């Protein structure tokens, strides 16, 4: 199995909020890591026009990927134009076939906005058809190697109806939290936008709040990211869970193992 992990999200800064810590830990464990936002982020400003905003956010995302040590893949559409449609699916399928990730990190199937959920659907299907030769994409189908898809916690740690979403897996990100923070801080244009659009007093503080709340849910970690592993059908052999290879930073939810424990 090639040790390759790919994070696929909707907008610049989504990876940094909910996925970047795990991505860096995978890199530290010997994985080649890839970073892709499907959207340019062109609507994420009340101060600049769409073209200027997209240009600023592209540079910020590239800087963030460099901080994380990830290979950057450019966006393929604009904000609010991420749809589960054929052309986007073909493009993303071609990229996954070329990269051949054994781990795909993406959004929760249920999240607070459609861009996140559509990005998730595209990532899942693109990974599913990696070995389907009759689905035509810019890169030919590959063998159906084991590929695990993990869904991050939704923004705010709740579904669109306000119900708390509890992960199956916790990853202790405290050792790489400073890098995660630095990567999110690369998206400086988002400070005013998130304060205005989501009443988020500080996007850095919001990320840290999510991180610490997830840590408390784990009952063992201080900073953590939470994941739910998609069923193996169409993706891998049963039980394929490569995040477990991260060792002591991996901890199953007490709900998934049926007992209460400690990471020690």
Average pLDDT, the chain: 93
Q: What is the 8-class DSSP label of residue 130?
A: G
Rounded to 10 deg, the angle between the 50-68 and 177-185 helix axes is 160
pLDDT at residue 202, rounded to an integer: 80
- The whole-model pTM stands at 0.93
Task: Sketch the domain layout of the chain as residue ranges.
Answer: 4-257
Q: Which of 93, 15, 9, 78 minimizes the C-alpha distance to 45?
A: 78
**Domain 4-257: which topology?**
Rossmann fold (3.40.50)
pLDDT at residue 69, rounded to an integer: 98
pLDDT at residue 258, rounded to an integer: 43
pLDDT at residue 190, rounded to an integer: 82
pLDDT single digits (tens) 45-97: 988 999 999 999 999 999 999 999 999 999 999 999 999 999 999 999 999 99
pLDDT single digits (tens) 113-128: 999 999 999 999 999 9
Dist CA 9 CA 13 (whole Å):
9
pLDDT single digits (tens) 177-212: 999 999 999 998 887 666 655 555 588 888 999 999
pLDDT at residue 46, rounded to an integer: 84
pLDDT at residue 7, rounded to an integer: 99
Residue scoring higher pLDDT (242 or 203)? 242
Dist CA 144 CA 128 (whole Å):
9
In the three-class reduction of DSSP (H, G, I as helix; E, B as strand; rest coil), residue 25 is classed as helix
Q: What is the DSSP string of 185-219?
A: HT-TTHHHHHHHHH--S-HHHHHHHHHHHHHHHHT
- Helix, strand, coil percentages, rounded to 5, for the chain: 45, 15, 40
């Amino acid at each position: 199995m090639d040790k390759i992990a790919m994070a696929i999200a909707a907008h610049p800064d989504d990876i940094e909020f909910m996925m970047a810590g795990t991505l860096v830990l995978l890199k530290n464990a010997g994985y080649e890591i890839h970073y892709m936002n499907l959207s340019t982020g062109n609507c994420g400003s009340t101060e600049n026009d769409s073209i200027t905003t997209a240009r600023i956010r592209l540079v910020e995302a590239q800087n963030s990927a460099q901080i994380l040590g990830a290979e950057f893949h450019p966006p393929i559409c604009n904000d609010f134009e991420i749809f589960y449609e054929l052309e986007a699916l073909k493009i993303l399928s071609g990229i996954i076939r070329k990269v051949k990730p054994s781990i795909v990190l993406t959004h929760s199937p249920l999240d607070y906005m459609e861009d996140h959920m559509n990005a998730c659907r595209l990532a899942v299907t693109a990974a599913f058809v990696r070995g389907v030769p009759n689905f035509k994409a810019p890169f030919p189908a590959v063998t159906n190697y084991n590929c695990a898809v993990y869904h991050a916690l939704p923004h705010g740690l709740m579904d669109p109806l306000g119900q708390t979403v509890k992960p199956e897996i916790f990853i202790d990100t405290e050792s790489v939290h400073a890098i995660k923070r630095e990567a999110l801080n690369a998206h400086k244009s988002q400070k005013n936008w998130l304060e205005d659009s989501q009443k988020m007093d500080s996007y850095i503080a919001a990320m840290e709040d999510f991180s610490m709340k997830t840590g408390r849910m784990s009952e063992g970690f201080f900073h953590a990211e939470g994941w739910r592993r998609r069923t193996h059908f169409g993706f891998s052999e049963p039980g394929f869970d490569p995040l477990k290879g991260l060792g002591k930073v991996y901890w199953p939810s007490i709900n998934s193992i049926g007992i209460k424990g400690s990471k020690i």
